[in-house]
Amino acid sequence: MRVPNERWISLEVVGDGFDAADDWIVEHVKPQDIVITADIPLASRCLKEGARVIGSTGKPFTDNNIGEAVATRDLLSELRGAGEITGGPPPLEKRDRSRFLQKLDEVIQSIRREHPQG
């Protein structure tokens, strides 16, 4: 994997255990960090560590909506297991990308207002 040559970017190789990458992320995330994920259990774990979490479509995960997201995920998982639902989420559309970029900018600006560099 090619990694950009920037001092603030690094490649981290984790073990091959189940959720090893998620575990590494949760162990290293800090309250002002932004986590971008479609993985609802990972989103929940990062929220508990104080991070800001945004889904790949721009939907923010918050303490107020993560419980519903987990419940919906579990229900859909059961329905898929029973053969009621096949396939995954729809592909990202242009409006998803736009919503994501807008939400990411909002979160960055919010963190900057709450924790000004000075």
Mean pLDDT estimate for the chain: 90
Per-residue pLDDT of the chain (118 residues; tens, 9 = 90+): 788 999 989 899 999 999 999 999 999 999 989 999 999 999 999 999 999 999 999 999 999 999 898 888 878 888 878 887 767 778 888 999 999 999 999 999 999 999 887 5
| DSSP letters spanning 26-43 | HHH--TT-EEE-S-HHHH
The domains of the chain are located at: 26-114
Distance CA 35, CA 45 (A): 11
Supply the angle between the helices 40-48 and 66-81 in degrees, to the nearest 10: 150
